[in-house]
Structure formats: C-alpha cells, structure tokens
Amino acid sequence: MDKDAIIEKLTKQAASLLERIRQLEQENAMLKERIAQLEKNSSTSSKPPSSDMVKPTKIVRKRGSKRKQGGQRGHRKFTRQPFGVEQVDEVIEYEFRGKDAEGLKALDEWLIIQQVELPEKMYKIVEHRARKYLDPVTGKIHIAPIPDTIRKGGLLGSDMTAATAFMKGSCHMSYTTIRAFFKELMKLDISRGMLCKATQKVSQALHPLYDQLAQRLPQESQVGVDETGHHHDGRLHWTWCFDSSDYSLFKIDPSRGSKVLQNVLGQDFTGIVCADYCRAYRKYARLFDVRVQYCMAHLVREIRFLAEHNIKKLSCWANELLA
C-alpha cells in the first residue's frame, strides 16, 4: 500500500473517531443534565418534601453549654391568671381540727389551688312534648305545634351538632374518632351515620355564607392560591385554597387546571395572585393578563439547583444571584 493510501485511510479513521468523540461528549452532557434533574429535591426545586427519595442530611450542631430545663435566670416569669370568684363552681376548704388546731390562730388567708374537672354528666337530655287534643265534634286529633328547628334538628341539638362539625372540620377527626370521643368521654353512644348527618347539616347551613365569600373573592386586591391532591371514591381530586387578608375559601375540584382559577376569580381579576410555579397559574396569567407574584421560596430553590450545576459559568451566575 502506498503512502497516499495510508494517509487517506488514517484521515478517514481520525474523522470517524472525532465524530464518535463528539457524539459521546454530547451524550455525556445529556446524561449529566438528566442526573442533575433526578437529584432535585425539595431544597433545590419546587418539588414537595414528600417527593424526596432520600432522607435529608442531618444537621450536626456544635455542643455547647447545656441549659437547664424550665425558666432561665433573668427571664420574666409567665404564670396563668387564676379563675375569678364568679367562675368557681365548688369550693372545698381544708382546716386543722381538734388537737391539730390548738395554740394556732386561724387567719383569713388561704393557699389556693384551682383545678379544672369534668362533670359526671357532660350532656343533658331535653324531651320536647306536644300535647294532643281531641275535637269531640269531628273526632280529629290536633297536636300542639313544635318549632321547625326542633322538628328538623334530629337527635343532636344545635350545640352538639356544632361540636360535631367542629371536631370533623377544624380538628380533622374521623367519624370513628368522634364516636369514640363521645362514647368514652361523654358516655354517649352515637352512630357514625348520625355524626355524618350532623356534619352535612352544618355544611348545608354554611352554603349561603360560602356563596357570599365566593362572590367577594374576585374583588380582593391580593389572593394567595395553592392546591393539594387527594383521592375521593378512587378518583384524584384537588383541594384549592384561596387565601385573602380576612378569610380563606376552599374549593374541591377534580381539575388542577387554570379553569378553576377562571371559575373562582374570573377573567377580569385585577388583584395580585400569589402562587408557586404550577403551570395553571402561568397559563391563567398569560391568558387574562393577571398580575402574579410567584413564590420567592420556590425561586430560591430553583436558583440553588442552578448553583450546583456542572456548567461553571451557570453555577457562578446562580451563586451571585443567591448572594
């Protein structure tokens, strides 16, 4: 083989190897980018903490002088104010008797210890009776009227119904737990079905107030919005929270899209929406020219991710921005 043929062959091999090196470098960069995306966690992105695949690194604190438990020297002491005389239901007095009191002068002063205790019976049963009357002429029975609130109230009175709804809504207790509370603490056995009806009754009573707040929400100057998913009857639903300066409005919807924002806030919302980077908010702001303040905490997390990037120029820029 002559020299020119050898040179041509080696040139082609070199070109082929250079192309292969270029492809491998490109593939390596893509893999690094993919690894970086997979290594994102709640501290370097908008991902929730529940999505972290590993436990967060434990922070090792320096050992210093251990303070004693309780109030510290020089700090102001805070104590609970005692109940007033009008609030005390029972008084039990302890005094020396007989020989123990000999030679002692009783003072009009007492060491007082107040305790809060539950009564033996924490509820009362009210029986409403409507007398029946006979019309001797027609033989027809007439019954004295009972207020509609009593007729429609069912087994649980208004305060017990409100207490049930409070435990279900504000305390996030299950019907089984509420039933156990009534049974064990109050010695009152109520079925879960009855507790469910009581909660639904309060929910229906609150509908007019809910509608008033829903109509008022689009007029607010600033609304914070967020959503979280949960399953209902095996289907994924979303609980949306619209938070104003005076109240919070919740809406459960099977959608996580921008249509929920359109239905609740409307297309002419002139206030400011405070939200994270979820695409529903970006789409809503883009379609209807709504002002949005994106979450600064989420922004910081995204910049932290860029600060750890393998491209040095991008990493330096992100660190400067964090500073």
**Tens of pLDDT, residues 139-161:** 999 999 999 989 888 899 999 99
Cα gap 67→199, rounded to integer Å: 48
Q: Do residue 303 and residue 239 come from a single domain? A: yes
Helix axes 312-322, 296-307, angle to 10 degrees: 140
* Structural domain containing residue 268: 207-323
Taking residues 83-100, report their average pLDDT: 94
Given a cut of 70, whether residue 83 has pLDDT beyond it is: yes
Query: What per-residue confidence (pLDDT) applies to 298?
Result: 83
Taking residues 16-37, report their average pLDDT: 84
Query: What per-residue confidence (pLDDT) applies to 28?
Result: 84
Q: Do residue 146 and residue 253 come from a single domain? A: no
Given a cut of 60, whether residue 50 has pLDDT beyond it is: no
Give 189-233 pLDDT, tens digit per residue. 999 999 999 999 999 999 999 999 999 999 999 999 999 999 988
For residue 47, what pLDDT band results from cuts at 50, 70 and 90?
low
Determine, yes or no, domain membership for 153. Answer: yes
- Statement: the pTM of the whole predicted model exceeds 0.85: no
Query: What per-residue confidence (pLDDT) applies to 7?
Result: 83
Taking residues 112-125, report their average pLDDT: 92
Amino acid in the structure at residue 107: L
Of 156, 172, 205, the residue at which a domain comes to its end is 205
What's the alpha-carbon Rg for the chain, to the nearest Å? 36
Determine, yes or no, domain membership for 291. Answer: yes
The lowest-confidence range among 50-59, 175-184, 301-310 is 50-59
Determine, yes or no, domain membership for 290. Answer: yes
Tell me if 275 sits within 8 A of 226, measured CB to CB: yes
Determine, yes or no, domain membership for 233. Answer: yes
Give 159-168 pLDDT, tens digit per residue. 999 999 999 9
Amino acid in the structure at residue 161: T
Tell me if 237 sits within 8 A of 231, measured CB to CB: yes
Residue 234 Rama label (left phi>0; alpha psi -120 to 50; beta): left
Given a cut of 80, whether residue 170 has pLDDT beyond it is: yes
90-109: b (≥16 Cβ within 10 Å) or e: eeeeeeeeeeeeeeeeeeee
Angle (nearest 5°) at CA 14 between 9 and 15: 100
Q: Do residue 297 and residue 228 come from a single domain? A: yes
> Residue 251: enclosing H or E segment and its boundaries?
strand 248-253
Given a cut of 60, whether residue 53 has pLDDT beyond it is: no
Q: Do residue 173 and residue 268 come from a single domain? A: no
Any idea which residue has 């250079």 for tokens?
18
Q: Do residue 231 and residue 170 come from a single domain? A: no
Query: What per-residue confidence (pLDDT) applies to 63?
Result: 65
Q: Do residue 241 and residue 177 come from a single domain? A: no
HSE-CB for 196 with a 13 A CA cutoff: 5
Q: Do residue 184 and residue 288 come from a single domain? A: no
Beta bridge partners of 292: 273
Of 190, 205, 220, the residue at which a domain comes to its end is 205
Determine, yes or no, domain membership for 89. Answer: no
**What is the separation, in whole angstroms, between the first and last Cα of the chain?**
65
Taking residues 14-28, report their average pLDDT: 88
Query: What per-residue confidence (pLDDT) applies to 182?
Result: 95
Q: How far is CA 70 from CA 62, 74, 94, in A?
A: 22, 12, 31
Q: Do residue 174 and residue 147 come from a single domain? A: yes
Q: Do residue 224 and residue 293 come from a single domain? A: yes
Determine, yes or no, domain membership for 59. Answer: no
Provide, rounded to the nearest whole percent, the portion of the chain with pLDDT above 70. Answer: 92
| Sequence-separated (6 or more) residues with CB below 8 Å from residue 221 | 271, 272
Look over the chain and give the mean of its residue pLDDT values, rounded to a whole number: 89
Q: How many domains does the chain have?
A: 2
For residue 48, what pLDDT band results from cuts at 50, 70 and 90?
low
Any idea which residue has 């429609």 for tokens?
152
Query: What per-residue confidence (pLDDT) applies to 297?
Result: 85
The lowest-confidence range among 199-213, 246-260, 296-310 is 296-310
Q: Do residue 258 and residue 227 come from a single domain? A: yes
